[in-house]
């Protein structure tokens, strides 16, 4: 498997922890902490767009 550089887990209320990682090939990963062997993967650009959309409140209707 690709060498993924995982960030420290981000934990919301309760035990819902997620990790974000990147690899040298330019891919980005999101995984539930403890399940890093089953990540969602896409390009860094897609992850950047997702984070910008979240920060802009574009997905607040999902909360």
C-alpha angle 47-55-40 in degrees, rounded to nearest 5: 25
DSSP, res 15: T
C-alpha angle 59-57-20 in degrees, rounded to nearest 5: 70
Residue 33 binned pLDDT confidence (cut-offs 50, 70, 90): very high
Give me the pLDDT at residue 12, please. Answer: 78
How many CB atoms are closer than 10 A to CB 27?
Answer: 17
Residue 63 has pLDDT above 90, yes or no: no
Taking only the tens place, the pLDDT of each residue in 44-56 is 999 899 999 999 9
What is the enclosing helix (H) or strand (E) of 17? strand 17-22
Q: What is this structure's pTM?
A: 0.76
Residue 1 binned pLDDT confidence (cut-offs 50, 70, 90): low
């Amino acid at each position: 498997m690709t060498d993924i550089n995982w960030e420290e887990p981000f934990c919301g209320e309760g035990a819902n922890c997620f990790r974000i990682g990147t690899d040298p090939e330019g891919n980005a990963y999101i995984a539930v902490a403890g399940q890093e062997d089953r990540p969602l993967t896409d390009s860094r650009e897609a992850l950047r767009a997702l984070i910008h959309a979240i920060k802009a409140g574009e997905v607040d209707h999902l909360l």
